[in-house]
Amino acid sequence: MLGIIDRGLIKSAGFINGHWHIGDKQFVVSNPADGQELLKVADLGPEDAELAVQSAAEAFSAWSKKAAMERSQLLRKWFELMMQHQDDLARLLTLEQGKPLTEAKGEIAYGAQYVEWFAEEAKRVYGDTIPAPGADKRLLVIKQPVGVVAAITPWNFPNAMIARKAAAALAAGCTFVVKPASETPLSALAMAELAQRAGIPAGVFNVVPGKDAKAIGKVLTEHPLVRKFSFTGSTAIGKLLIAQCASTVKRVSMELGGNAPFLVFDDADLDAAVQGLLVSKFRNAGQTCVCANRVFVQQSVYTEFCHKLLKAVEGLRAGNGLAEGVNIGPLISQQAVDKVDELIKQSVQQGAQVKVGGQLHQSGGWLYQPTVLTGVSNQMPVAREEIFGPVAPLIPFEDEQQALQMANDTDFGLAAYFYARDIGRIWRVAEGLEYGMVGINEGAISNPAAPFGGVKQSGNGREGSKYGLDDYLEVKYLCMGGV
Ligand code: ADP
């Protein structure tokens, strides 16, 4: 693979108990920019997942008993190695995932920051003392790691979705098994290589790449030794996995689909709103769960906003993520292209207009043109479903009440954004949006210090921030009598 300096980061085997597992079968990982094969990777199965869980369970005893400071130092080393190899990791990420190299570099730094954050938080797991009901008693609360954590992650952030789960789990004293998306296992395996170089002990961080997500997923969700399951992906699969976890009453964290509204009020700074929308909508070619999915614009500024947006979108450059100056990379697969195409077709049939884009890019592959649709209603499929592509559907609204009603009219509740200046409106809208995260005059909200997560059918649990460790800790109450 061209341009990767440290060839030791290119791994084709799974990583279990500190060893690289080749397995009997392999699957092809290809570059979404041209469909070319990049590498064949070990196609591991349920027996390997079982082995990884066993290894994680064995490693748990020593890892959980390490001083927090020691776990912190190992995580810190892992973070430093990720940053030292940022360029190589970013290149690997663009090759397997497609996003522009600058975005890939951003993702490596973003993922690494979670590791840095939780290296610090590892030292801050505090308990409590509680006033007792009698003089001879003392009541205390201690926090302990939940145990073995299993995770399944998606292809849209091949590094960061693993980093923010694994860093929190390891910091808390848990051991970890992840099945990365089969489209993008290379970033996960490079992380395993760096974990090993950092000195993180065998069995603490395991990666099980494989095509048969269902079979591996069954082991990770039903194995009695796994005490906690963490998933990022679609709501449909998330529901299935929650049901599977019920058989052993596992704790679950779910980061599922979104349908983010992006509201532009008449008192907004329209230029800032356009810039915010470009970031929120077109990052990763629209393939993030916090991407703006519906753009609601107040009637009185609709025409002006539309004009400014079209000008900005026409300035975006789609192409191979490794090429200079490209801001939109390819979609992940033909299936992704077909879905976006279908949503646009349905919208047009129902009266929407394509103002710019609306089809595959002339350079071919899975490159989709950045698209703006007008005349969209909140009932059209493009507004009901998560688009996961570079398409901005514009929907007009009359007033605040209608805007909130339409914004909340969805089963999802991950991220929302709005642009306004009136302070009263800002509070009313921020409190009225039924979402886990709200960007106010801001299109990029995610960072390790902040709690990432959703409400309604967008999931539960929070990643990052001072709340992020709680997902991996059990609260134990100690009642001491006879004092
Ligand atoms: P996306 O549309 O982003 O691919 P998915 O929810 O389909 O979202 O996939 C997210 C992750 O879930 C991927 O790693 C995928 O391999 C895995 N996955 C998909 N189906 C299942 C399943 N039935 N059981 C376990 N994991 C699954």
**For the chain, what are the domain ranges?**
7-256+458-479, 260-447
DSSP state of 463: B
Cα separation, 231 vs 227, in Å, equals 14
For residues 206 and 462, what is the distance between their CA atoms, to the nearest angstrom? 22
Q: Which residues of 60-99 are buried (b: 16+ CB within 10 A; e: fewer)?
A: beebbebeeeebbbbbbbbbbbbeebbbbbbbbbbbbbbb
ipTM: 0.97
For position 94, what pLDDT does the model report?
A: 97
Res. 109: pLDDT tops 90: yes
**How confident is the model at residue 363, as a pLDDT?**
76
206 burial type by CB count under 10 A (0-12 exposed, 13-18 middle, 19+ buried): buried
Report residue 386 as tokens.
Answer: 């998560």
Give the distance (Å) from ligand 1 centre to CA of residue 192.
Answer: 21
Which atom in ligand 1 lies closest to the alpha carbon of residue 237?
6
Residue nearest to atom 15 of ligand 1 (CA): 181
**What CA–CA distances, in Å, run from 73 to 64, 80, 114, 170, 464?**
14, 10, 14, 12, 18
Q: Which of ligand 1's atoms lies nearest the C-alpha of 221?
A: 25
Show the ligand 1 pocket: residues with CB < 6 angstroms.
Answer: 152-154, 181-182, 213-214, 217, 233-234, 237, 240
Of the candidates 395, 371, 453, 412, the one whose C-alpha atom is nearest the C-alpha of residue 260 is: 412
Which residue CA neighbors atom 25 of ligand 1 most closely? 217
Q: Which CATH class is domain 7-256+458-479?
A: alpha beta
Average pLDDT of the segment spanning 319-329: 93
In sequence order, which residues have a C-beta less than 8 Å from that of residue 110 and are 6 or more positions away?
Answer: 160, 446, 447, 448
> Which two structure tokens, joined as six digits, stand for 216?
């591996």
Amino acid, single-letter form, for residue 379: Q
DSSP letters of 295-348? EEEEHHHHHHHHHHHHHHHHT--BS-TTSTT--B---S-HHHHHHHHHHHHHHH
Contact by Cβ (8 Å): 295, 379 = no
| The amino acid at 121 | E
> What is the mean predicted confidence (pLDDT) over 194-218?
98
Tell me, in angstroms, the distance from the centre of ligand 1 to residue 177's CA: 16
CATH number of 260-447: 3.40.309.10
CA 122 remoteness from chain centre = 22
Taking alpha carbons only, the member of 32, 93, 37 closest to residue 365 is 32
Measured in degrees and rounded to the nearest 5, phi and psi for residue 18 equal: 80, 5
pLDDT in the model for residue 362: 77
Q: What pLDDT sits at residue 253?
A: 98
| CB 184, CB 155: distance < 8 Å | yes
Taking a C-beta distance cutoff of 8 angstroms, is the pair 75, 170 a contact? Answer: yes
How far the first Cα of the chain sits from its last, in Å, is: 67
DSSP 124: G
CA-nearest residue, atom 7 of ligand 1: 234
Q: 286 is written with which tokens?
A: 């629209």
What is the DSSP track for 52-85?
HHHHHHHHHHHHHHS-HHHHHHHHHHHHHHHHHT
- pLDDT at residue 36 greater than cutoff 80: yes
What does the alpha-carbon distance between residue 78 and residue 113 come to, in Å, rounded to a whole number? Answer: 11
Same fold yes or no, 7-256+458-479 and 260-447: no
- Identify which of 152, 288, 333, 338 to mutate to test ligand 1's pocket (most ligand atoms within 8 A of the CB): 152
pLDDT, mean over the chain:
97
Residues contacting residue 6 through CB under 8 Å, at least 6 positions apart: 85, 88
Q: What is the pLDDT of residues 141-183, one digit of tens each?
A: 999 999 999 999 999 999 999 999 999 999 999 999 999 999 9
- Residue 365 has a pLDDT of 78
Distance 382 CA to ligand 1 centre (A): 22
H or E stretch at 19: strand 19-21
Tell me the percentage of the chain whose pLDDT exceeds 90.
98
Above pLDDT 70, what percent of the chain? 100
Alpha-carbon distance of 120 to 48, in angstroms, equals 32
pLDDT digits (tens, 9 = 90+) for 111-130: 999 999 999 999 999 999 99
The answer to whether 262 and 445 have CB atoms below 8 angstroms apart is: no
d(CA 389, ligand 1 centre) in Å: 18
Mean pLDDT within 417-434: 98
State which ligand 1 atom lies nearest to the alpha carbon of 153: 14
Q: Are 292 and 280 in contact (CB under 8 A)?
A: yes
Q: What is the mean pLDDT of residues 200-221?
A: 98
> What's residue 474's pLDDT?
98
CA of 209 to the centre of ligand 1 (A): 13
Nearest CA residue ID for atom 27, ligand 1: 213
pLDDT at 2: 72
- Do 370 and 399 meet the contact criterion of CB atoms below 8 Å apart? no
Q: Best mutation site among 186, 216, 237, 334 for ligand 1, i.e. most ligand atoms within 8 A of its Cβ?
A: 237
Q: Provide mean pLDDT across the span 80-99.
A: 98
Question: Measured from the CA of 332, which atom of ligand 1 is nearest?
Answer: 4
Which atom of ligand 1 is closest in space to residue 182's alpha carbon? 16
Q: What spacing in Å lies between the alpha carbon of 181 and ligand 1's midpoint?
A: 7
Task: Work out the average pLDDT over 84-89.
Answer: 98
How far is ligand 1, taken at its centre, from the CA of residue 237, in Å?
Answer: 6
Among 10, 2, 6, which residue's Cα sits nearest to residue 189?
Answer: 10
Q: What is the mean pLDDT of residues 436-462?
A: 98
Positions marked active-site: 255
pLDDT tens string 358-406: 988 877 779 999 999 999 999 999 999 999 999 999 999 999 999 999 9
CA nearest neighbour of 283 among 370, 355, 357: 370
Cβ-based neighbours of 133, under 8 Å, separated by 6 or more:
none
Q: How many residues does the chain have?
A: 483
